[in-house]
Amino acid sequence: MPSEYRLKRRVQFYETDMAGIAHFSWFFRYMEEAEHAMWREVGLSIAGGSGVGWPRVEAAFEYLRPLKFEDEFEIHLRIIAKDARTITYEAIVSKDETRVATGRMTVKCVSKKPGEQMHSIDIPPEIDAVFQVAP
- Report the first-to-last Cα separation within the chain, whole angstroms: 12
Q: How many residues does the chain have?
A: 135
Task: List Cβ neighbours of 83 (8 Å cut-off, separation of 6 or more).
Answer: none
Which of the residues are catalytic?
17
Nearest CA to 17 out of 53, 63, 54, 84 is that of 63
H or E element that contains 32: helix 24-41
CB 81 within 8 A of CB 12: no
